Amino acid sequence: MKNMLKKMILVLEQRLCLQSFERMPESSSEITDKEFIKNFIIEAEKGNLDVLYRYIVESVSKLSLDASNALDIGCGPATLLCQMARKLSGTQFTAIDMSSVMIEIAKENAEKSGVKNISFMCKSWFELKDFEDHSYDIVTWNLALHHCDNKNEVVQVINSISKILKPSGKLFIFDVLRPCSERNMTWFLDSFINNKNPAYFQNVLESFRAGYTFGEIEEILSQSLFKSYTHIEPLLMNYWQVVICNKEPHVLEKKSFVSELEYRLFKFFMKYPVRRKVF
């Protein structure tokens, strides 16, 4: 009971307390360590990342049932991308990553998965100008935005994405949300990550330290070419955030709700049955 109460306090702290944790950009945005990539894949396939991946796949598939062309930015080892491509078998995906090592592993994973509708390119997200304007129905940018050094870089990338989207296109972003304190972050990751490989754990810590807060992403969106978006702020397990940007005119929305993803994670962390409430 005492342990459960401590967990509840930390969950509420993340939700209610003022941000006291300054952002710390990562030392490098290019991942080339094969051992880290191996551990990342293990966590994605057998750890709690799988819960996040299922949420992302379902969310993207609802947005892009009729999409013919999609671009995935910062595809990593393509564990998530292969799931999206399998779900949207009628969509042709182009995947880019700045790491040649990552692209090599991504190609191997796609071949093992039997997915045929993905083409890979070793390219940075700062090279989006190389793509034709208005050529994609949807662009996905999952668990990678925090790799940008600063808010200006994020605005630059988002504006480049706006130009290559079709007039009715959408941008889907899923990324980490920086915890309110070092203590809160350490507790959360210790609970969430199954793979306790020290180098892997340290890398994930750096990713969350480099994450942007909900307010910082709001500021970024206000400076971007997108004037229509939905920004989702979780009520409970708010260690992630979702942004859906639309090219078409639309009302700006900021949502707070308990999603299926949050329900699963909350139940997992508390190790105690909870009743689901949707706000």
| 176 contacts: CB under 8 Å, gap ≥ 6 | 143, 146, 207, 208, 211, 239, 240
What is the structure's pLDDT at 269?
A: 47
pTM of the shown model? 0.87
Name the average pLDDT for the chain.
83
Lowest mean pLDDT of 99-103, 119-123, 153-157, 189-193, name the range: 189-193
Locate tokens 């013919």: which residue? 68
Positive/negative CA dihedral, 131, 134, 140, 144: positive
Which residues lie across from 175 on neighbouring strands?
A: 241
% of the chain with per-residue pLDDT over 70: 84
Take residue 19 and report the two structure tokens written for it.
């941000």
- Closest to 266 measured CA to CA, from 183, 208, 188: 188
Q: Which helix (H) or strand (E) holds 153?
A: helix 151-164
Q: How many CA atoms within 13 Å lie on the side-chain side of 265? A: 27
| 196 contacts: CB under 8 Å, gap ≥ 6 | none
Q: Does pLDDT of 196 surpass 80?
A: no
Positive/negative CA dihedral, 217, 218, 223, 226: positive
Per the CB < 8 A criterion, the answer to whether 258 and 234 are in contact is yes
**Could you tell me the domains of the chain?**
2-15+47-270 (3.40.50.150)
Positive/negative CA dihedral, 258, 176, 173, 101: negative
Q: How many CA atoms within 13 Å lie on the side-chain side of 103? A: 17
pLDDT digits (tens, 9 = 90+) for 22-39: 999 987 666 667 777 787
pLDDT digits (tens, 9 = 90+) for 223-252: 999 988 888 877 666 788 889 998 876 655
pLDDT digits (tens, 9 = 90+) for 135-151: 999 999 999 999 999 99
Q: What is the mean pLDDT of residues 65-75?
A: 94
d(CA 249, CA 274): 39
Q: Does pLDDT of 279 surpass 50?
A: no
